[in-house]
């Protein structure tokens, strides 16, 4: 089960933080779905010297400042990976792990989410390939599953699958994986070896924006928006690196602010003030 918010935001960087601050100033309830802070682009920056109002500092320090502001503004932080968004009339459902949250408007501020699918991944998604152990693990009780991924979440999901009685093959190395099968996935190929499996859990930090929301228009991997940061899906706005170049903090924060104000206008239009 999940919670209901006026606006949900996917992301936790400059764009998301800026949007959340503005929405909270406007009195909206806000849920921010965000991966671990270390996964953001900003975290990797050695030294940022072009953000107004702040002295030069490392990206990690700035990430920490953003996180603190998010916590203090009263937005609810939902630590995890948004897996999919389901528009249902004037309500949007956001799947995070096995929870399903609801909102009236959504801001995608997910940064750059270039995601290369493994051969067979898209084809067998939902037919032996899953991104969520909590959601689908029970289907594989007593069976053999592969967990592909190297982070904390992958380890945790592998442990969880073992705890419910799956035989777990763990694949933590980067490289070329391939999934094959018939009607359902039944083989994982890695480093020239074939592994017979009943399911493959692929645990990555992000889900490409091109697969997050059905019907979302994008171009060269970037979400298409108008100047109000509205996307092609009613009630869905986007901000920051995920809308395209330039990849800069000030641009991300500015777009987050515009997206938040547009989301407020949208809520008023549909009578959810």
Ligand X SMILES: Cc1cc2nc3c(=O)[nH]c(=O)nc-3n(C[C@H](O)[C@H](O)[C@H](O)COP(=O)(O)OP(=O)(O)OC[C@H]3O[C@@H](n4cnc5c(N)ncnc54)[C@H](O)[C@@H]3O)c2cc1C
Where does this chain bind ligand X (CB under 6 A)?
Answer: 10-16, 33-35, 39-42, 44-45, 48, 50, 81-82, 109-111, 113, 205-207, 240-241, 247-250, 252
Q: How far apart are CA 33 and CA 264, in angstroms?
A: 19
CA neighbor of 106 nearest in space, from 116, 120, 95:
95
Q: For residues 188 and 236, which CB has a smaller minimum distance to ligand X in the complex?
A: 236
Least distance between ligand X and beta carbon 11 (Å)? 4
Q: How far apart are CA 139 and CA 133, in angstroms?
A: 10
Query: Distance of CA 263 to CAs 118, 153, 169, 259, Å?
Result: 35, 31, 44, 6
Least distance between ligand X and beta carbon 256 (Å)? 7
8 Å CB contact between 210 and 110: no
Q: How far apart are CA 138 and CA 42, in angstroms?
A: 37
Q: How far apart are CA 104 and CA 249, in angstroms?
A: 27
Q: In what order do the strands lie in the sheet with 185-190?
A: 177-181, 185-190, 193-196
Least distance between ligand X and beta carbon 210 (Å)? 12
Q: What is the DSSP letter of 113?
A: -
Least distance between ligand X and beta carbon 126 (Å)? 18
Q: How far apart are CA 186 and CA 195, in angstroms?
A: 8
Q: For residues 70 and 145, which CB has a smaller minimum distance to ligand X in the complex?
A: 70
Q: For residues 174 and 192, which CB has a smaller minimum distance to ligand X in the complex?
A: 174
Least distance between ligand X and beta carbon 81 (Å)? 4
Give the length of the chain: 273
8 Å CB contact between 167 and 173: no
Least distance between ligand X and beta carbon 169 (Å)? 25
According to DSSP, the residues that pair with 106 across neighbouring strands are 8, 236
Question: In this structure, how many other beta carbons lie within 10 angstroms of the beta carbon of residue 253?
Answer: 22
Q: For residues 227 and 245, which CB has a smaller minimum distance to ligand X in the complex?
A: 245
Least distance between ligand X and beta carbon 98 (Å)? 14
Q: For residues 48 and 222, which CB has a smaller minimum distance to ligand X in the complex?
A: 48
């Amino acid at each position: 089960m999940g919670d209901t918010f006026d606006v949900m935001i996917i992301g936790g960087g400059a764009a998301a933080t800026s949007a959340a601050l503005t929405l909270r100033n406007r009195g909206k309830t806000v849920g921010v779905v965000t991966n671990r802070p270390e996964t953001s682009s900003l975290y990797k920056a050695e030294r940022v010297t072009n953000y107004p109002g702040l002295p030069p500092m490392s990206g990690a320090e700035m990430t920490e400042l953003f996180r603190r502001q998010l916590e203090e503004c009263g937005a609810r932080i939902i630590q995890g990976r948004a897996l999919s968004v389901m528009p249902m009339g004037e309500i949007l459902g956001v799947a995070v792990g096995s929870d399903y949250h609801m909102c009236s408007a959504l801001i995608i501020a997910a940064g750059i989410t270039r995601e290369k699918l493994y051969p067979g991944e898209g084809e067998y998604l939902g037919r032996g390939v899953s991104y969520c152990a909590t959601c689908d693990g029970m289907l594989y009780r007593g069976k053999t599953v592969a967990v592909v991924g190297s982070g904390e979440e992958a380890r945790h999901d592998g442990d969880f699958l073992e705890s419910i009685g799956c035989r777990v093959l763990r694949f933590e190395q980067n490289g070329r994986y391939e999934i094959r099968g018939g009607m359902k996935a039944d083989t994982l190929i890695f480093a020239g070896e074939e592994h017979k499996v009943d399911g493959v859990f692929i645990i990555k930090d992000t889900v490409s924006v091109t697969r997050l929301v059905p019907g979302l228009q994008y171009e060269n991997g970037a979400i298409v928006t108008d100047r109000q940061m509205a996307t092609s899906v009613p009630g869905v706005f986007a901000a920051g690196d995920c809308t395209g170049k330039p990849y800069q903090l000030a641009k991300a924060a500015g777009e987050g602010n515009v997206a938040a104000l547009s989301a407020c206008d949208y809520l008023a239009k549909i009578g959810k003030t």
